[in-house]
Amino acid sequence: MTVLSRMPKAVLFDLDGTLIDSAPDIREALNETLAMEGVAPFDLQTVKHLVGGGVQVLIERAFRRRGLPLSPQDCERIAARFVATYEPRATKLTDLTPGAREAVDGVKALGAKTGVVTNKPEAATRAILAHYGLADPMDIVIGGDAGPKKKPAPDLLLLAAKQLGFDPAECLFVGDSENDVEAAKAAFMPVAALENGYTALASSDLGADILLSRVDDLLRHLPQKVSS
Ligand SMILES: O=C(O)COP(=O)(O)O
Ligand SMILES: [Mg+2]
Asked if the structure places residue 228 within a domain, the reply is no
Final residue of a domain: which of 54, 89, 124? 89
pLDDT, position 226: 60
- Distance between Cα 228 and ligand 2 center (Å): 30
Query: Does residue 69 sit in the same domain as residue 169?
Result: no
CATH code at position 111: 3.40.50.1000
Q: State the Cα torsion 135-77-92-202 to the nearest 10°.
A: -80
For 177, the domain range is: 10-21+94-221
Query: Does residue 58 sit in the same domain as residue 141?
Result: no
Q: Which of 14, 180, 209, 216 is catalytic?
A: 14
Query: Does residue 158 sit in the same domain as residue 58?
Result: no
Q: How confident is the model at residue 64 (pLDDT cuts 50, 70, 90)?
A: very high
Read off φ and ψ for residue 73, nearest 5 degrees. -65, -45
- Distance between Cα 153 and ligand 1 center (Å): 13
- Cβ contact 175:215 at 8 Å: no
Nearest-atom number in ligand 1 for the CA of 53 is: 1
- Distance between Cα 48 and ligand 2 center (Å): 9
pLDDT mean over 212-223: 95
Final residue of a domain: which of 41, 59, 89? 89
Query: Does residue 118 sit in the same domain as residue 36?
Result: no
Question: Taking the mean position of all CA atoms in its chain, how far away is CA 57?
Answer: 14
Which residues sit with their C-beta closer than 6 Å to ligand 1?
14-17, 51-55, 58, 118-120, 151
Asked if the structure places residue 186 within a domain, the reply is yes
Provide the residues around ligand 2 (an ion) whose CB is within 5 A. 14, 16-17, 52, 176-177
Largest CA distance in the chain: 57
Q: Residue 36 to residues 33, 39, 83, 173, 184: CA-CA distances in angstroms?
A: 6, 8, 14, 37, 37
Beta-carbon contacts of 74 under 8 Å, excluding residues fewer than 6 positions away, are none
pLDDT mean over 13-38: 98
ipTM: 0.94
Q: Is the pLDDT of residue 2 over 70?
A: no
Q: Is the pLDDT of residue 99 over 90?
A: yes
Number of Cβ within a 10 Å radius of residue 167: 12
| E-assigned strand segments in 146-215 | 171-175, 191-194, 210-212
Query: Does residue 116 sit in the same domain as residue 182?
Result: yes
Asked if the structure places residue 4 within a domain, the reply is no
Residue 136 designated active-site: no
Query: Does residue 124 sit in the same domain as residue 210?
Result: yes
Query: Does residue 108 sit in the same domain as residue 70?
Result: no
Nearest-atom number in ligand 1 for the CA of 117 is: 9
pLDDT, position 224: 74
Read off φ and ψ for residue 82, nearest 5 degrees. -60, -45
pLDDT for 108-142, tens place per residue? Answer: 999 999 999 999 999 999 999 999 999 999 999 99
pLDDT mean over 167-189: 97
What is the domain count for the chain? Answer: 2
Query: Does residue 66 sit in the same domain as residue 124?
Result: no
